[in-house]
Structure 1
Amino acid sequence: MARPQLPGPRIDPITLIDLTENDGALLRPGDSRDGERFDGIDLAGRDLTGITFRECELRAVSLDAAKLRGASLSDCVAADLNAAVFSAPRSTWRDVRIERSRLGSAEVGNARLKDVDLRSSDFGAIHGLEGLRGAVIDDSQLSLLAPLLAAHLGIRVE
Structure 2
Amino acid sequence: MEIVVTRLTCPACTAPSLEFNTEGILTCPYCGTSIIGEAQVCSACGHLNPQYAEQCLECGEPLTVIARVVLRHGNAARNPAFLERARGQAAGLQADDVRASRERMDRFREMDRLRLTDEAKAYARQQVRDRQLLIASASALGILVIVILIGLLAALLRLPSR
Q: TM-score, structure 1 length as denominator?
A: 0.24
Q: Which structure features the higher share of strand residues?
A: 1
Q: Which structure features the higher share of helix residues?
A: 2
Q: Which structure would you say has the larger Rg?
A: 2
Q: TM-score, structure 2 length as denominator?
A: 0.24
Which structure is richer in relative contact order (CA contacts within 8 A, separation 6 or more)? 1
